[in-house]
Amino acid sequence: MKRYLLKIALILPCIGIVELPAQGISNKSVQSGVEAFYMADFEAAKTQLQDAVIDAPLSELDLFYAHLYIAFCNIRLNRDLEAVRLLFTRAVKIRPHMELDPTKIPPDLYDRFIAVREEIITSLVVITEPEDASVVVVEPETEAISSKTSPAIFHNLLEGSYQVLVSKEGFHTWARSIEVDPGKVDTLTITLLQKQKSFFAKAWPYGAGAVAAGVVVYAITLSNKSEPNPPFKPDLPGPPNRPD
């Protein structure tokens, strides 16, 4: 009977059957709670979703939808409105990259969620000189890695510390830990330092050993030229003594 009522509730005139906007839910209790919400049984939906959060280990996606729809139920029931922001915040922190489809969520609920999300989420713009450098952003807590080519923009970052590494062939790698603030766009401008080319590496293709040996030979030759050996003088006998 419940399934039958659900199908009726999701039929709109001249449009057809509308799919539930919460896709990919694997936990049956969470799915049942979301279905109850769209049947306008907000009390039952809230109870089922709260029980699922307490009783069952949930995936990230299931936990995201559970917090989201508990908040939606509170709004519809006009209860625990102070908890709505907290529930939305928890949902965003669980899945920062998760975005809702505005065509499938009631507009007032969508706007309430987005208002909270925009206060939590930030973006980071990385500009480098020269361009086309590899930019890697690492979130230390989760070790999540994002990689792009500059100029690059990283969306859906939570407030906190991030490791940023910028590299390009022929230039020294730039690496720093930076703090991003919520609710705004941070811009990072980086000038990479070019690596110095080695003179000996080009002039002496046989390696540093050959260079060192050449320097020693040159030093010996120079020493011999500056201090020549004295000419050889053999010892000759003295003249004979005259008779008295």
| 118-161 pLDDT, tens digit each | 999 999 999 999 999 999 999 877 788 899 999 999 999 988 89
- Tokens found for residue 187: 């811009």
Confidence of residue 198 (pLDDT cuts 50, 70, 90): low
Q: Which CATH architecture has domain 122-191?
A: Sandwich (2.60)
Average pLDDT of 23-34? 91
Q: Which helix (H) or strand (E) holds 38?
A: helix 28-38
Mean pLDDT score of the chain: 80
- Which amino acid appears at position 103 of this protein? T
Helix (H, G, I), strand (E, B) or coil at 66: helix
Confidence of residue 222 (pLDDT cuts 50, 70, 90): very low
CA distance 190 to 178: 13
Tell me, what's the pLDDT at 21? 74
CA distance 70 to 52: 11
- Cβ proximity of 154 and 146 under 8 Å: yes
| 84-93 pLDDT, tens digit each | 999 999 999 9
Q: Which helix (H) or strand (E) holds 210?
A: helix 208-226
Q: Domain coordinates of the chain in residue numbers?
A: 2-120, 122-191
Q: Does domain 2-120 have CATH number 1.10.10?
A: no
Going by their DSSP bridges, the two strands 160-167 and 11-12 should be labelled as: unpaired
% of the chain surpassing 70 pLDDT: 73
DSSP letter for 109, please: H
Alpha helices in the chain (DSSP H): 2-9, 28-38, 42-55, 60-77, 81-94, 107-120, 199-203, 208-226
Is the pLDDT confidence value at 227 over 70? no
* Predicted TM-score of the model (pTM): 0.67
Best CA proximity match to 28, nearest among 73, 70, 59: 59
